[in-house]
Structure 1
Amino acid sequence: MSLLSAYAEVIGPEAVHTLERLAAPLRGRSFLHVNSTAAGGGVAEILTQLVPIFRELGLDCRWEVIAGTPEFFDVTKTFHNALQGEATGLADAQYDLYRRVNEDNARRLDLSADYVFIHDPQPAALIASRKGGKWCWRCHIDASHPHPAVWEFLRPYVESYDAAVFSMASYSQVLPILQFRIPPAIDPFSQKNRDLSDREIERALKKYAVPRDKPIILQVSRFDRFKDPLGVIAAYRMVKPYADCRLVLAGGTAADDPEGALVLAQVREAAAEDPNIHVLAMPQDDLAINALQRAAAIVLQKSTREGFGLTVSEALWKKKPVIAGAVGGLPLQVIEGATGYLVHSPEGAAFRIRSLLKRPALARRMGQRGRDHVRLHFLLSRQARDYLFLLHAMDRPEETIIRL
């Protein structure tokens, strides 16, 4: 079965027909996505599934990944944190390294396309090597309150694009270019989200030595301090005296995130004495993540800063209630009291965990509402539609009404 036929069974044939009508005038043109890693993190996951949808719609779509040294990714991790408001500084030599690596990648990669999408700050300076086409900067992080020095360095690059895309309107900046809001989304047919049999779930849990003898509280994320894994452990310790449960912290690190190993070591140290805390530093194992989410009683995403947090939509799609930090794009997915709860502290998370463990019927109702919410708003078919609208808008920036 084709991807589009599979989506028609979930979102309806009319929605798929809309995609086909939007794509038809764009056939014969070329599209290129560029980011900083082929695996690990939400951007790579989105592109892994979005590019095939575009191709099935008859569009010539490619995906390139920049290369960089560990020192380069140290710099871009600082950019990432600074765009999210962290007070940090960089030396002139580090800015020079950023420019140089982007120049090297511009010579190495084939950047020729009618439409070029550059994802996040790591490859943003590729715009300086633009030779043609329309270019769009896709910022996946919360850049609403960036550190001034880093933003002033990046701003001239961003202003050179034809358009910019943010996950939420509040993330945008005052820019002299077109700006669009496109929240990210999940693919319900990927290994991470497809339906699993009980046997597949049991096999995956056995592989990672996670028993199902008590309710599982789960957080899936990279080992990143902004995901607050230490705060999750603190919340679990507050719940444990009142409700017997297991905590699973599952994830890995991305090639462009040099802080991951340090955070993982801190998490392991904090969890070391409790056999009911499972810290799983996993390779790319989407089926196992799927199984853990389906086996969980409650899923957490207790981030302190978050661009969007696709793991929340993944859990909601699997009918799990989600307790999340009230930051970034998480409130778009977690509707307070309907699909889960938003919290501001480990104490708040612990209170909501205890409440849901005591009220399983409420947890099931929240899970069903969560799946319906994701079907309407956060499947990749909707994101593909938004990108197609964006392409038409970039083609005709002066028109307020576009007729196909």
Structure 2
Amino acid sequence: MLQSVAVAPKKLADYRPIVGEEAVEELRSLAAPLRGARILHVNATAFGGGVAEILYTLVPLMRDVGLDAHWQVISGEEEFFNVTKAIHNGLQGMDVPFTEEMRRIYERYNRLNAERFEGDYDIVVVHDPQPAALVRYTGGKGGKVWVWRCHIDTSTPNPAFWEFLLDLIRPYDAHIFTMREFVGPGLESKHLAIIPPSIDPLSDKNAPMDDGEIEAIVSGFGVDLSRPLLLQVSRFDPWKDPLGVLDAYRLVKREFSGAQLALVGSMASDDPEGWFYCDRTLRHAGEDFDIFVLHNFHGVGAREVNAFQRAADVVIQKSTREGFGLVVTEALWKGKPVVGGRAGGIPLQVIDGETGFLVESVEECAQKALYLLRHPEKAKEMGQKGKEHVRRNFLITRHLRDYLELFRTLLRC
């Protein structure tokens, strides 16, 4: 069978102080007709990236409200994940080749994973392109309803990649996208749902921290908290533009000579390109010892990311293409305004001039970072607005509600 992912129990009642009694009771009422429904989520990795983070909370909360929810991951060798990374880039519009050999590798691993698929479920939710062919190679067996959940922006894809994927996802009974604008050309869905992602406010990455712990963690990596700190948290990926962040930091440093920059990421098992781009980032950083390039192999986990986001004076997410950008949500939840690229789901979160700033160039990024450094009271006000925006729109409880409503529609209950 596919590899099952163990998740720790979570209680919906624990979120009551954050979202209120009414929201909690609404969720329990929505879930009541679904009690006992068998739900399976399938994706490519249990570590690294927003999908895994969401499922570590979403699956146990589904269980807590009465669903029989499970999470499994597919398996593959490096050649498969090299191909799926190219597919990811191609779907976001990158001009990269799609060869017959790449097609054969993708299909072979999806066929092998389909052979390992076991069990009977009311709904199977398949996340992103890596396992998208499962419905084809299983013949739809094992699931009464199959749903494909796309976390990336396919609005202007490389045609070769989109035509290939479109043929694979057409058989699904429903499709979920983050934004309506992300739906690729020519997809005619029997049921199209728009569900933005979310964060768990009680996770290690987002739970409150005292100042002493923040200082101990961040200074332990060599950062001087008496000086300004700029931060970007993201995978090492060309779409996240860490090289552009480095260039913007250098412009800021001309006026704030003590400024520091931390680029904090994680190396996910389904992203072999990450190491290459991390090396490229290090070369671009050069010998500036006020730049800190850190990832999970340096001991940076959820708690450390939490501390860096709380310690930062300016949080940046200079993406040029983006699915949603949960790191933006995380920073806003901590009361930090964000300087973000005008891409993907970032404008849903960064209301320009209110919860942060939207930028389209290195120079704009530097200018807005300088503004926040020069106007700390305004930055604090924007951060407070950002936290409330997340509370209303992007917490895991809202995400659970959207799934419950979709499941009830699909199962007609």
Normalised-by-shorter TM-score class: over 0.9
1:229 aligns with 2:245: no
Alignment match of 1:375 (pick from 391, 405, 409): 391
Could you tell me how far apart the structure 1 residues matched to 2:90 and 2:53 are? 24
| Alignment partner, residue 274 of structure 1 | 288
| Bigger Cα displacement from structure 2, 105-114 vs 55-64 | 105-114
1:172 aligns with 2:183: yes
Q: How does 1:245-394 map to 2 (within 5 A)?
A: 245-283=259-297, 285-394=301-410
| Bigger Cα displacement from structure 2, 188-197 vs 198-207 | 198-207
> Any unmatched runs of 5+ in structure 1?
397-403
Alignment match of 1:148 (pick from 155, 159, 162): 159
Report the residue type matching 1:84 in the other structure: Q
| Alignment partner, residue 24 of structure 1 | 32
Shift of 1:199: 2.1
Secondary structure of 1:114 counterpart: strand
Task: Please list the CA deviations of residues 93-119 of structure 1 after superposition, one character each: whole Å capped at 9, or x if unmatched.
Answer: 221111110111112232531100000
Could you tell me how far apart the structure 1 residues matched to 2:212 and 2:282 are? 29
Could you tell me how far apart the structure 2 residues matched to 1:392 and 1:184 are? 19
1:187 aligns with 2:203: no
Shift of 1:209: 2.0
Secondary structure of 1:212 counterpart: coil
Could you tell me how far apart the structure 2 residues matched to 1:25 and 1:281 are? 43
| Alignment partner, residue 116 of structure 1 | 124
| Alignment partner, residue 6 of structure 2 | none
Report the residue type matching 2:260 in the other structure: R
Could you tell me how far apart the structure 1 residues matched to 2:44 and 2:27 are? 28
Could you tell me how far apart the structure 1 residues matched to 2:254 and 2:302 are? 32
> Any unmatched runs of 5+ in structure 2?
1-8
Shift of 1:251: 0.7
1:15 aligns with 2:23: yes
Q: How does 1:193-232 map to 2 (within 5 A)?
A: 193-232=206-245
Aligned length: 397
Q: How does 1:158-169 map to 2 (within 5 A)?
A: 158-169=169-180
Task: Please list the CA deviations of residues 58-115 of structure 1 after superposition, one character each: whole Å capped at 9, or x if unmatched.
Answer: 1100000011010000110111011111122222122111111011111223253110
Task: Please list the CA deviations of residues 367-387 of structure 1 after superposition, one character each: whole Å capped at 9, or x if unmatched.
Answer: 000000000000000000000
Report the residue type matching 1:213 in the other structure: S
| Bigger Cα displacement from structure 2, 299-308 vs 175-184 | 175-184
Task: Please list the CA deviations of residues 274-301 of structure 1 after superposition, one character each: whole Å capped at 9, or x if unmatched.
Answer: 1111111224610000000000011000
Aligned CA distance change for structure 1 residues 111 and 224 (closer, same or farther; 3 Å): farther
| Bigger Cα displacement from structure 2, 73-82 vs 196-205 | 196-205
Secondary structure of 1:218 counterpart: strand
1:87 aligns with 2:100: no
| Alignment partner, residue 36 of structure 1 | 44
| Alignment partner, residue 75 of structure 1 | 83
Aligned CA distance change for structure 1 residues 199 and 256 (closer, same or farther; 3 Å): same
Report the residue type matching 2:236 in the other structure: F
Could you tell me whether the CA contact under 8 Å between 2:339 and 2:358 is conserved in 1? yes
Could you tell me whether the CA contact under 8 Å between 1:117 and 1:135 is conserved in 2? yes
Secondary structure of 2:133 counterpart: helix
Could you tell me whether the CA contact under 8 Å between 2:252 and 2:369 is conserved in 1? yes
Could you tell me whether the CA contact under 8 Å between 1:64 and 1:109 is conserved in 2? no
Task: Please list the CA deviations of residues 174-220 of structure 1 after superposition, one character each: whole Å capped at 9, or x if unmatched.
Answer: 31421110000000000000001122212211332222120111000
Shift of 1:147: 1.3
Q: After the TM superposition, which segments of 4 or more aligned residues of structure 1 sit over 4 Å from their partners?
A: none
Could you tell me whether the CA contact under 8 Å between 2:230 and 2:260 is conserved in 1? yes
Could you tell me whether the CA contact under 8 Å between 1:159 and 1:177 is conserved in 2? no
* TM-score, with length taken from structure 1: 0.96
Could you tell me whether the CA contact under 8 Å between 2:36 and 2:68 is conserved in 1? yes
Report the residue type matching 2:174 in the other structure: A
| Bigger Cα displacement from structure 2, 197-206 vs 374-383 | 197-206
Could you tell me how far apart the structure 1 residues matched to 2:134 and 2:199 are? 27
Could you tell me whether the CA contact under 8 Å between 1:32 and 1:111 is conserved in 2? no
Could you tell me whether the CA contact under 8 Å between 2:267 and 2:274 is conserved in 1? yes
Aligned CA distance change for structure 1 residues 184 and 66 (closer, same or farther; 3 Å): same
Secondary structure of 1:352 counterpart: helix
Report the residue type matching 2:363 in the other structure: E
Secondary structure of 1:222 counterpart: coil
Q: How does 1:95-110 map to 2 (within 5 A)?
A: 95-110=103-118
Aligned CA distance change for structure 1 residues 123 and 359 (closer, same or farther; 3 Å): same
1:56 aligns with 2:67: no
